[in-house]
Amino acid sequence: MRYPPVRRDRPDSSAVKPVKVQDKMAIQQNRPLAIFCDFDGTFSVQDVGSTLAQQLLPEKRARLWDRFGQGEFTAWSYVMALLDGLELSEKELDRFLETIDLDPGAETMVDWCAAEGIPFRILSDGFDWNLERLQALNNIHFEYSANHLEYEGDRWRLSPGRPNEACGCGTGSCKRGLISSYRDDHPDAFCVHIGNGRVSDLCGALEADLAFAKDTLAPALEERGVDFIPFETLHDVLEVLRDRQAERGSREAR
């Protein structure tokens, strides 16, 4: 879900120059990778929830968008006010989801991680129903964490996936908490986060050992002086990760 900007001057994301951009040598060779990737606008081209709301609820979205920008809602309460109770049949939703494109590097990313034995997981502040359908529509499979959507007749009923009151993100699925939980079980893991949004992705990027960022996430990290690697598509991310794996394999062979 793409959220409205807060009311303050921000740099143009297209002109962002990171304070200190990490390069592939910053990925520690002696720690196993674990990759966490945002879905909307990162693994997919379009933001599913925002695009749907723009098409079906433009006036309501505009009103709530303004109130969110004024600080009246958390990220999750904004989503609930906007989409909980939405009347949209399963068939209509499927027709909409058929218009959602995956990033040109999405399938290659999933296949490469599987071939390399690298854990890959989508962390989404969207909904499990949509992710299940998009996997089926695109003949792709990935593990994921997301919020829950179920149908009551033709109406949406929503519930949060994993909120985290200790984090200031206010989302239904806190990516900081999800990555931290993985790290608790895999303390040696080198956690990589890939994302594009300043609201739902920022805490995950800060929690990870390395962040790939674009769109509004990039200037949000820049403002905090946090290292990140800019990217446009997942092909760019793969180029860095493949080089790292090749270097690691070369060192292990010595």
pLDDT, position 241: 94
| Per-residue tokens: 118 | 């690298």
Q: Which domains does the chain have, with CATH numbers?
A: 15-253 (3.40.50.1000)
* pTM, 2 dp: 0.89
What Rg do the C-alpha atoms of the chain give, in angstroms?
A: 18
Distances (CA, A) of 3 to 85, 168, 211: 19, 15, 20
> C-alpha dihedral over 62, 44, 247, 181, to 10 degrees?
70
Instruction: Spell out the per-residue pLDDT of the chain, length 254, in tens.
Output: 655 443 333 333 333 333 344 444 467 778 999 999 999 999 999 999 999 999 999 999 999 999 999 999 999 999 999 999 999 999 999 999 999 999 999 999 999 999 999 999 999 999 999 999 999 999 999 999 999 999 999 999 999 999 999 999 999 999 999 999 999 999 999 999 999 999 999 999 999 999 999 999 999 999 999 999 999 999 999 999 998 877 765 565 55
Whole-number Å distance between alpha carbons of 225 and 207: 14
- 127, 76 contact by CB (below 8 A): no
pLDDT, position 254: 54
